[in-house]
């Protein structure tokens, strides 16, 4: 349309605006633009990219509609070319103008419809123009959002994954979390996350050292994902990407604004079932190599404080066992990191026959095999010591656990005792736990031995309380010198006695210290 015709049409709109003064307290201003016609421009093309602004984002709706734009809209879009120096200001001014004209068209459409009816040609014509103007307003709003994007500075050895999360009208969706996941669609935490801003823009920068780690952690590529701040996954890109140093990858995600469902594919899928963690092997006699059947093998994750039992199995007639367990690494550990694994073997009486804790397998693989040979001296029936955590042994003249005998290792037995007492309290909420301290003749005089026996029981009490056992259900009693075991050092111990509490009966904590404890009273 020649510039003279555009001025004429703009003048008519001003006249209509003047007529509306009686209906509105303020007339809607129609700014006058000095326009130099410049054909063959889309919205994005009219706005040349600056060095601080990404040029890869386009307004697809504007491109699709260019052939359909009204003459007035076409001339208004050309005004963007004259706003190169004040890009944001020019976009905003043009959008304000278009909004004002849309308001005038709506008023005129209502007037004509009231006068001629909805089927009149003039009403239909103005409604068509109104629809086009509404689309232009939306496209200008998209352009304004894109104009606010500022690409992060990324060195040439790093990779950048960026893009926009938008709705069906290509308006940005703010506050969503974008991440990169592995083949199981689990987020790779060491890559970080990005939150979309007001324009829907996100940017994930991957440093060179992280790219090197990524090649090992995700050899099959990474998958873009989008979730809510609460962690609900709403989008997962079906195709993998393989970021390399210097890459600038742009990925756009289109979602429904109401329910955040994907528009063009990318519906979240259930992650593939992870391969099971397995410990298998065989238990044999060290002297004869014959299979040992009927013993319990346990797989244990060694932790700094309390070890975690992963699973257990009973050996069959061939002495073989297989333990399948679930394992999830700590939140601050790399994905797919295995447990710090060791195994134990226990007979039917609860006596420990073997432990590989001294030969720990850190970061164990998903499948580990153990060949366990047990010496004759440790085969079932060779010891009658209670090694199930019901007794804790101490060094002579000390409140420290014994460390000189693997069977009597205090730290290991304490872990068993904690599990045992915790299970007891869960099954008997009113139960009582009596800690009976003993000493031997090697611990000093009877008075010294009695005092030391009490201190040993108090040490165990403090550790159980630290493990969240109820303090009001723990009692301490000192029994002094004892000769229950022929081996003198075995009498330096604390017995843990578990009693289901009974209302109306004597409580353990009310008994005088120094008296021999008789469980039959309860």
Encode 242-263 in three state secondary structure: CCCCCCEEECCEEECCCCCCEC
- The pLDDT tens digits for 44-76 are 333 334 434 444 455 555 444 444 444 445 555
At 108 the pLDDT is 82
Measuring CA to CA, which residue among 230, 229, 224 is closest to residue 268?
224
Among 244-253, 316-325, 327-336, 413-422, the minimum mean pLDDT is found in 327-336
Distance between CA atoms of 441 and 99, rounded to whole angstroms? 98
For domain 391-521, the CATH class is alpha beta
Question: What is the percent of the chain with per-residue pLDDT over 90, rounded to a whole number?
Answer: 30
What is the arithmetic mean of pLDDT over 234-254? 92
Helix (H) or strand (E) holding 109: helix 87-116
Q: For residues 99 and 71, which has the higher predicted lDDT (pLDDT)?
A: 99
Name the segment(s) of the chain with CATH classification 3.30.1330.60: 391-521
User: Confidence band (pLDDT; 50, 70, 90) for 349?
Assistant: confident
Name the one residue in this structure whose structure tokens are 């955590």: 389
Q: What is the DSSP string of 181-224?
A: E-TT--B-GGG--EE--TT-EEEEEE-HHHHHHHHHH-TT-BEE
Least confident residue range of 160-169, 278-287, 324-333, 342-351: 324-333
The answer to whether residues 208 and 245 touch, using CB atoms and an 8 Å cutoff, is: yes
What per-residue confidence (pLDDT) applies to 465?
A: 92
Give me the mean pLDDT over the 355-378 stretch.
Answer: 85
Domain 277-378: top CATH class: mainly beta
Distance of CA 137 to the CA centre of its chain: 40
| Contact (Cβ atoms closer than 8 angstroms) between residue 173 and residue 200 | yes
What would the mean pLDDT of 227-242 be, rounded to a whole number?
Answer: 90
Region 27-36 average pLDDT: 35
Query: Mean pLDDT of all residues in the chain?
Result: 76
Bridge pairing between strands 320-325 and 474-481: unpaired
**pLDDT tens per residue across span 257-311:** 888 888 877 777 555 555 678 999 999 998 899 999 989 999 999 876 567 888 8
Return the pLDDT at 304: 63
Q: What is the per-residue pLDDT for 43?
A: 35
pLDDT, tens digit, 9 for 90 and up, residues 170-206: 889 999 999 999 887 788 888 999 999 989 999 999 9
**Residue pLDDT, tens place only, 121-150:** 888 888 888 788 788 877 877 887 888 888
Q: What is the pLDDT of residue 234?
A: 92
Distance of CA 438 to CAs 154, 390, 421, Å?
68, 14, 20
In this structure, the strands spanning 177-181 and 223-227 are antiparallel
Could you read off the pLDDT of 426-435 as tens digits, one per residue? Answer: 888 888 999 9
Among candidate residues 55, 82, 79, the one with its CA nearest the CA of residue 69: 79
Task: Give CA torsion, residues 374, 376, 382, 385, to 10 deg.
Answer: -40
Residue intervals of the chain classified under CATH 2.60.40.1120 are 159-254
Residue 501 has pLDDT above 80, yes or no: no
CB atoms within 10 A of CB 57: 25
3-state class (DSSP) for residue 447: helix
Q: At 474, is the secondary structure helix, strand, or coil?
A: strand
By percentage, how much of the chain surpasses pLDDT 70?
73
Residue with more model confidence, 257 or 15: 257
Residue 116 clears pLDDT 50, i.e. is over it: yes
Cβ–Cβ under 8 Å, residues 223 and 185: yes
Per-residue pLDDT, averaged over 104-108, amounts to 82
SS3 content of the chain, % helix, strand, coil (to 5): 35, 20, 45
Other beta carbons less than 10 A from residue 485's beta carbon: 16
* Model confidence at 162: pLDDT above 50: yes
Which helix (H) or strand (E) segment holds residue 321: the answer is: strand 320-325
- For residue 347, count other CB atoms closer than 10 A to its CB: 20
Radius of gyration of the chain (CA): 39
Residue 345 has a pLDDT of 92
| Token output for 351 | 């006596």
Question: With 80 as the cut, is the pLDDT of residue 515 above it?
Answer: no
Digit-coded pLDDT (tens) for 453-464: 999 999 999 999
Structure token digits, residue 202: 């996100």
Q: Is the separation of the CB atoms in 384 and 481 below 8 Å?
A: no
pLDDT at 94 exceeding the cut of 90: no
The predicted structure's pLDDT at residue 10:
42
Query: Residue 299 corresponds to which tokens in the numbers above?
Result: 């797989």
Tokens standing for residue 321: 């066992």
Q: Which residues contact 101 (CB under 8 A, 6 or more apart)?
A: 13, 30, 72, 133
Q: For residue 349, give the H/E element and its range.
A: none
Mean pLDDT, range 478-505, rounded to an integer: 79
Contact status, residue 126 vs residue 109, Cβ threshold 8 Å = yes
Q: How many CA atoms lie within 13 A of 43 on its CB side?
A: 29
Q: Which CATH superfamily is domain 159-254 in?
A: Carboxypeptidase-like, regulatory domain (2.60.40.1120)
Q: Which residue has the higher pLDDT, 39 or 357?
A: 357
Backbone angles phi, psi at 311, to 5 degrees: 170, 170
CATH 2.60.40.3330 in the chain is located at 277-378
Identify the pLDDT of residue 36: 34
């Amino acid at each position: 349309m020649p510039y003279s015709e555009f001025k004429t049409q703009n003048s008519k709109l001003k006249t209509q605006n003047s007529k509306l003064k009686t209906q509105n307290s303020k007339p809607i201003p129609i700014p006058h633009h000095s326009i130099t016609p410049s054909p063959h421009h889309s919205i994005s093309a009219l706005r040349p990219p600056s060095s601080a602004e990404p040029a890869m984002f386009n307004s697809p709706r504007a491109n699709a509609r260019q052939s359909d734009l009204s003459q007035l809209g076409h001339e208004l879009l050309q005004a963007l070319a004259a706003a190169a120096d004040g890009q944001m200001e020019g976009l905003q001014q043009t959008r304000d103008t278009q909004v004002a004209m849309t308001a005038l068209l709506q008023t005129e459409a209502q007037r004509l419809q009231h006068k001629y009816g909805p089927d009149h040609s003039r009403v239909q014509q103005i409604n068509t123009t109104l629809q086009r103007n509404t689309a232009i307003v939306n496209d200008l709003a998209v352009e304004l959002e894109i104009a606010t994007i500022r690409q992060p500075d990324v060195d040439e050895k790093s990779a950048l994954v960026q893009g926009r999360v938008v709705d069906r009208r290509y308006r940005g969706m703010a506050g969503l979390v974008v991440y990169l996941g592995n083949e199981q669609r689990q987020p790779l935490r060491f890559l970080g996350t990005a939150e979309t801003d007001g324009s829907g823009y996100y940017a994930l920068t991957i440093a060179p050292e992280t790219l090197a780690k990524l090649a090992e952690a995700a050899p099959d590529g990474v998958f873009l994902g989008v979730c809510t701040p609460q962690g609900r996954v709403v989008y997962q890109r079906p195709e993998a990407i393989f970021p390399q140093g210097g890459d600038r990858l742009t990925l756009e995600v289109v979602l429904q604004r109401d329910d955040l469902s994907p528009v063009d594919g990318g519906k979240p899928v259930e992650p593939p079932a992870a391969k099971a963690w397995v410990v298998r092997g065989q238990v044999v006699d060290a002297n004869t190599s014959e299979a040992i059947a009927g013993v319990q093998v346990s797989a244990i994750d060694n932790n700094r404080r309390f070890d975690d039992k992963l699973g257990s199995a009973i050996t069959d007639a061939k002495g073989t066992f297989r333990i399948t367990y679930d394992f999830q690494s700590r939140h601050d550990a790399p994905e797919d990191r295995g447990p710090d694994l060791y195994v134990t073997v226990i007979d039917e009486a609860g006596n420990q026959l073997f432990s590989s804790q001294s030969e720990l397998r850190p970061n164990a693989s998903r499948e580990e095999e153990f060949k366990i040979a047990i010496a004759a001296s440790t085969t079932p029936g060779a010891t009658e010591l209670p090694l199930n955590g019901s007794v804790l042994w101490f060094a002579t003249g000390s409140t420290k656990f014994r460390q000189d005998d693997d069977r009597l290792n205090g730290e290991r037995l304490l872990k068993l005792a904690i599990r045992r007492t915790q299970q007891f309290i869960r099954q008997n909420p009113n139960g009582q736990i009596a800690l009976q301290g003993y000493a031997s003749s090697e611990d000093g005089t009877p008075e010294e031995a009695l005092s030391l026996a009490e201190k040993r029981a108090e040490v165990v009490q403090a550790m159980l309380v630290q493990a969240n056992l109820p303090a009001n259900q723990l009692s301490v009693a000192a029994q002094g010198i004892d000769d229950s075991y022929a081996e003198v050092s075995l009498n330096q111990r604390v017995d843990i006695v578990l009693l289901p509490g009974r209302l109306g009966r004597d409580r353990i904590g009310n008994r005088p210290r120094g008296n021999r404890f008789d469980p039959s009273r309860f």
